[in-house]
Chains A and B, each alone.
Chain A
Amino acid sequence: MTPVLQVNNLQVSYYTDAGRARALDGVTLALAAGEKLGLVGESGSGKSTMALAMMRMIKPPGRIEGGQVIVAGTDLITISDEAMLQARLSKIAYIPQGAMNSLNPVIRIGAQMMDAIKAHQDQSTSDWISTAEMEKRCKQALESVDLKSNVFKMYAHELSGGMKQRVCIAISILLRPKVIIADEPTSALDVVTQRQVMETIDRVQKQIGAAVILIGHDMGLMAQFVDKVAVMYAGRLMELSNVRDMFTDPKHPYAQALIRSLPNLENKGVFNGIPGMAPALLQLPGGCSFHPRCPHVMDICRTQRPEPTALPGGRIVECYLYPTKA
């Protein structure tokens, strides 16, 4: 089955006064319709850059330097700016972190949702729908995220954090996109609201059959929500596995260290940090970028970057511990 999202060798760099920072250094992944992928990584790993790059929202001094982002057959990197404007929200949607700040405070929620639909209206005349119909769709979207339709007439400040985030989810599904990118959608919310929001994303995603990429650093959320997990480090994809395998049998040493450092109810008082620090993107270590902190480091790791190796079960690892069969 052809994947609904195919990212090939995506490269993004930021050109700063101090030099070139490779935020994304050749990331490849694929997602089928209805699948949920979790993109985890610490700060500086490139996961937010990934989201922005897929939406083609990278601003100078950042630049997309190469690669493809193919959504339902169209490569978003190569299409024109107008075509990209249309593609945003209708093909690929984005739920941002800190929804408190992405809703316009002086316009009613309903008006913002209608704006989103109206902006995509002239796509083709056969898609034209009346204002009444648009309003109905907006209210339906609000209901599918468990908000009363009277929210349509409210202002953003009248809603709580969780409600605002759910409005953002509603906006993202208005045009039934194929791919939804949720960038740390719950980081500012408390645990109970977080659960509500995640359950909402789960439900609407099933309703419209979209693929979801959940970006975050909370492995616990991943365990609860996604089908596959991709671990990023210093702009590279270290491991991509399905969620069960990732938690029970991670292959990449970094993924292993991450899983080991997670607190659980069995080992009270035992703290397993990962020694060392993530490298500065301006000065990546040669070879595999994790080698300075890797307990299994070998000579070749220091000099040559490993190629992605496919393992059984649709897993991909970038590590010399699992060499490709010659």
Chain B
Amino acid sequence: MAELLEFRNVSKIYSRGLLSRVSTTALDNISLRLDAENPTIMTVAGESGSGKTTLAMLLLGFIAPTSGQILYKGKDIHTLRGEDQMKFRREVQAVFQDPFAVFNPFYTVDHLLSVPIERFKLAKSKSEAKDKMVEALTAVGLRPGDVLGRFPHQLSGGQRQRINVARALMLRPKLLVADEPVSMVDASLRANILETLRGLQKNYGVSIIYITHDLTTAYHVTNSIVVLYRGSVMEAGDVDTVIKSPQHPYTKLLIDSIPWPDINKRWGETEIKAREMELTEQGTGCRFYSRCPFAMDKCKQDPPLFQINRYQAASCYLYEQHSVIAPEKLSDLLPA
């Protein structure tokens, strides 16, 4: 099986200070495998500080892991040079959260689309390039005449984000990292953008890693989910199972706190214990320990992933009766 992208025991630790080094573990021993034949569409869910942004930056090759390797088609991405590096760049793309920040305010919005066409040699002539841009813009529901030639501040947030998605469509990457693509977009437009992303995976075989803290959209768009908390995997598996019957106490808290737009589903009675997240780094052990209503002494030891059923596992001693699954096998839990 051709491995498209592989994370092998990747950890990222940030340290500060000259004398007394304070280190923060942004990601702890994460392993993932994405293969080219079965494009996945998975969610990486977590709050701020969970490591999801670090994961995105590592995936895109913007930062290097402290330990472990990130392989693209078998080669470490930080050793790629020349044509291989261009290929990697072309095939791994992103849609970011802020629709405005991705545009260079000096240029019209065409710049966002024309630059990759030029750099990746996607068109042989100016008219072919224009055609490609028009095709992509139409596919996301925009009228090219309304947006081409405009400056970013002249368009609405929704239009801008659609242009971002159009860019991704146009490049037909193998892997798309979507970092909170709809959180800054109006509710009525979210459906449209999410539908496009789903379509990318179904029709064009693009693997999508959807990073978010909004589990309702995650449920709709993706097939599998990995829940991160302060750098470690808390729960992972099929998205329907995890969201409808969460096992890990943290996942339960998350699901409970979702403001469902349904007056019959009020916020749960799960008390939010230990109100404040400790801002200082805690040592080894389960990351959720200080906020967990079920915390036990043995939780001071980092719990492994226990496989609860075929497509669900939780890293919590409440499930120790189940068999342990090694972190390297995380991707086996995630249905395509």
Contact = CB atoms under 8 A, between A and B. Distances in A.
Interface in B133-191: 156-159, 186-191
Interface residues of A, number: 46
Interface string A200-240: 00000000000000000111111111000000000000000
Contact of A264 (B158, B195, B262): B262
A182 B275 CA distance: 22
Nearest to B259: A220
A219 B187 contact: yes
Given A217-B186, A271-B194, A192 B257 contact: yes
A277 interface: yes
Contacts of A269: 198, 220
Contact of B261 (A43, A194, A262): A262
Interface in A138-183: 146, 158, 160-161, 163
Contacts of A323: none
A179 B191 CA distance: 35
Contacts of B263: 223, 243-244, 247-248
Contact of A271 (B195, B215, B254): B195
Interface string A243-277: 11001100000000111011111001101111001
Contacts of A198: 259
Contacts of B272: 192, 195-196
Contacts of B276: 160, 163
A42 interface: yes
Interface in B177-219: 186-192, 194-195, 198, 213-217, 219
A277 B275 contact: no
Interface in A26-49: 42-44
Contacts of B267: 195, 199, 224
A190 interface: yes
A1 interface: no
Contacts of B158: 43, 277
B277 A247 contact: no
A146 B275 contact: yes
Contacts of B265: 223
A190 B192 contact: no
Contacts of B259: 191, 194-195, 198, 218, 220-221, 223-225
A268 B220 contact: yes
Contacts of A221: 259
Nearest to A243: B263
A43 B161 CA distance: 14
A70 interface: no
Contacts of A103: none
Contacts of B323: none
Interface in B53-81: none
Contacts of A224: 259-260, 266-267
Contacts, number: 118
A269 to B, nearest CB: 7
A43 B214 CA distance: 20
Given A265-B244, A273-B195, A217 B261 contact: no
B234 to A, nearest CB: 13
B275 A196 contact: yes
B258 interface: yes
A191 B259 CA distance: 8
B47 A191 contact: yes
B115 interface: no
B187 A258 contact: yes
Contact of A161 (B48, B190, B215, B261): B48
A274 B244 contact: no
B143 to A, nearest CB: 10
A278 interface: yes
Interface in A7-57: 42-44
Most chain A beta carbons < 10 A, residue from B198, B217, B220, B244: B220
A257 B188 CA distance: 8
Contacts of A222: 261
A261 B187 contact: yes
A160 B279 CA distance: 8
B240 interface: yes
A269 B47 CA distance: 24
B186 A42 contact: yes
A218 to B, nearest CB: 7
Given A190-B48, A268-B219, A258 B188 contact: yes
Contacts of A43: 156-158, 186
A223 B262 contact: yes
Nearest to A199: B267
Contacts of B258: 191, 220
B254 A264 contact: no
B253 interface: yes
Given A43-B186, A274-B189, 5 more contacts: A220-B261, A261-B187, A268-B220, A273-B190, A278-B156
9 contacts: A43-B157, A191-B47, A191-B213, A195-B267, A219-B187, A224-B266, A268-B220, A277-B158, A278-B156
Interface of A: 42-44, 146, 158, 160-161, 163, 190-196, 198-199, 217-225, 243-244, 247-248, 257-259, 261-265, 268-269, 271-274, 277-278
Q: Which 8 residue pairs are nearest across A and B when measured between Cβ atoms?
A: A220-B259, A190-B47, A271-B191, A273-B191, A274-B188, A42-B186, A195-B257, A220-B261
